[in-house]
Amino acid sequence: MELTVAITGASGTIYAYRTLQLLAESRTIETINLIISGTAVTVAQVEMGVNLKEATTQSINKWLGLGDSSKLIRLWRLDNLAAKPSSGSNKQEGMIVVPCSMGTLGAIASGAGTNLIHRAADVCLKEGRRLVLVPRETPYNAIHLENMLRLSHAGARILPASPGFYHRPKTIDELVDHLCFRILDQFDIPHSNKSEWAGEEVND
């Protein structure tokens, strides 16, 4: 399976970090086309203390705890509109934008994208492939909501960064994992079921 993952400048770099780790751990993914926006570099530095400004495949592997020789990640420049994810003829399962800024969401919704993230998302929509957008913003204004509805009508999955609590998380990591498991669910990618709802008997 081949996927594209984009990290944009909304708060929530930890969701991208953990999603990438879980994709690697699943052993069902052969290639991840990774794209990082300029603002995502700033947010990653603030939130996780990681410098992605001069990111390379090797430095990304180190950040994620993958081996130096791992061939899983293929890093593409944001301005490279000739990259594999920009073409519908490149067969892949779809794309995850995590976290997804409102600027990125708006650009995809308008169809007037200017970088590889926007183009790759547009390709997924036109080819009928799965596009999962993970917005992290609050509160939403009317423009945000209208853009989400427009994208939903176009076939995108809107998966807000809203972790559940029914699994009684005790750490931030457990909250993060719960959301990232839901992201993987959109592509039927196996993961731990420790936060899966198993049902509960209700006595009258």
Q: What is the pLDDT of residues 50-88, one digit of tens each?
A: 999 989 999 999 999 998 768 899 999 999 999 999 999
Residue 202, in any domain of the structure: no
Residue 193, in any domain of the structure: no
List the pLDDT tens digit at each of the 204 positions of the chain: 999 999 999 999 999 999 999 999 998 999 999 999 999 999 999 999 999 998 999 999 999 999 876 889 999 999 999 999 999 999 999 999 999 999 999 999 999 889 999 999 999 999 999 999 999 999 999 999 999 999 999 999 999 999 889 989 999 999 999 999 999 999 999 887 776 766 776 666
Residue 167, in any domain of the structure: yes
Q: What is the pLDDT of residues 141-161, one digit of tens each?
A: 999 999 999 999 999 999 999
Residue 201, in any domain of the structure: no
State the angle between helix axes of 102-110 and 116-127 in degrees (0 to 180), rounded to the nearest 10: 50
Q: What is the pTM of this model?
A: 0.93
Q: What pLDDT score was predicted for residue 194?
A: 72
Residue 199, in any domain of the structure: no
Residue 85: which domain range? Answer: 2-185
Residue 53, in any domain of the structure: yes
Reduced to 3 states (helix: H, G, I; strand: E, B; else coil), residue 75 is strand
Give the torsion sign (CA, 69, 70, 74, 78): negative
Q: How many domains does the chain have?
A: 1
Residue 195, in any domain of the structure: no
Residue 125, in any domain of the structure: yes
CATH of the domain at 84: 3.40.50.1950
